[in-house]
Amino acid sequence: MAKIGPYEEHAGEYDGWFAENRFAYESELRAVGMLLPRPGAGVEIGVGTGRFAGKLGIRFGVEPSKSMRTIARDRGILVVGGSAEALPFRDGRFDFAVMVTVLCFLDDPDAAMREACRVLTPSGSLVVAFIDRDSPLGKKYNARKDESVYYRQATFHSAGEVTELLTRAGLRTLAFRQTIFGDPGAMTGMDPVREGYGEGCFVVVRADK
Ligand SMILES: C[S@@+](CC[C@H](N)C(=O)[O-])C[C@H]1O[C@@H](n2cnc3c(N)ncnc32)[C@H](O)[C@@H]1O
């Protein structure tokens, strides 16, 4: 069962976080944008309210929560219902696929990685952004996740675990970026985006087929 309950109930509130934490949002957008292959047809898996797809020019999305889909559609994203573990797209449909803070909610991450690979062209790329459980802030989030209506059900991953997942799916050439080095609510400007992982809470990895 997709873990969509909190998103179904609080879609507007979730979406509002990005406006209230503008600098964190912009830092994350820049980190994802840096590893996005262009040009090409792209899809965001677990597109949510379309905050990333909309700004990054990704036309297609898949999202299990109806409330989240409705907001993403208002942003002009072509969204279909479905889950990462069983994507409603034909083989080789996209040049790249993106997942932003979705991995931690998946019932079967390995199946999701295989599905992402299936819908990519033979030279396609998968970009995965996640909260790094082993980063200083990620450790705090993990310890306090029961206090969050959204993250209560999450299983956070380390960068090493994500690397293993991608490698098991047959992907290679991993490039990492990281950002968000302190409390997102206290930011007075964008955080830098650095190579690698280990310090930033928001990590992006690109893997090629
Ligand atoms: C933290 S939100 C991220 C949304 C969007 N990617 C963003 O960054 O704003 C997690 C999203 O994952 C979706 N989700 C949960 N389980 C999923 C699954 N099995 N397949 C695809 N999406 C899923 C939720 O409905 C929710 O929209």
Could you tell me the residue ranges of all domains in the chain?
A: 5-208
Q: What is the CATH number of domain 5-208?
A: 3.40.50.150
For the Cβ of 50 lying below 6 angstroms from any atom of ligand 1, the answer is no
Q: How far apart, in Å, do the first and last CA atoms of the chain sit?
A: 28
Task: Indicate whether residue 165 lines ligand 1 (CB < 6 A).
Answer: no
Beta carbons within 10 angstroms of residue 70's beta carbon? 14
pTM of the model: 0.97
Measured CA to CA in angstroms, residue 33 lies from 47, 68, 101, 144 at distances of 15, 22, 15, 29
CA distance 112 to 67: 22
Q: Is residue 106 packed enough to be buried (19+ CB in 10 Å), middle (13-18) or exposed (0-12)?
A: buried
- For 112, phi then psi, to 5°, come to -65, -40
Ligand 1 atom nearest 129 alpha carbon: 8
pLDDT at 1 over 70: no
Going by alpha carbons, the residue nearest to atom 8 of ligand 1 is 100
| Nearest CA residue ID for atom 27, ligand 1 | 48
The verdict on the CB of residue 69 being under 6 Å from ligand 1 is: no
Residue 54's pLDDT is what?
A: 97
39 band by pLDDT with thresholds 50, 70 and 90: confident
DSSP-derived pairing of the beta strands 94-100 and 60-62: unpaired
39: left (phi over 0), alpha (psi -120 to 50) or beta: beta
Q: How many CA atoms lie within 13 Å of 99's alpha carbon, on the beta-carbon side?
A: 28
pLDDT digits (tens, 9 = 90+) for 47-85: 999 999 999 999 999 999 999 999 999 999 999 999 999
Cα-based distances in Å from 11 to 8, 19, 39, 72, 143: 6, 13, 30, 10, 24
Ligand 1 in contact with 83 (CB < 6 A)? yes
Ligand 1 centre and the CA of 159: distance in Å? 19
Instruction: Indicate whether residue 68 lines ligand 1 (CB < 6 A).
Output: yes
pLDDT of residue 108: 97
Which of residues 154 and 2 earns the better pLDDT score? 154
Q: Is any ligand 1 atom within 6 A of the Cβ of residue 64? A: yes
Residue 82 and residue 137: Cα distance in Å, rounded? 31
pLDDT over 90 at 173, yes or no: no
Is pLDDT above 90 for 87? yes
Taking residues 151-177, report their average pLDDT.
Answer: 95
Average pLDDT, the chain: 96
The residue type at 93:
R
Nearest CA to ligand 1 atom 14: 46
**pLDDT at residue 141 tops 70:** yes
Share of the chain above pLDDT 70, in %: 99
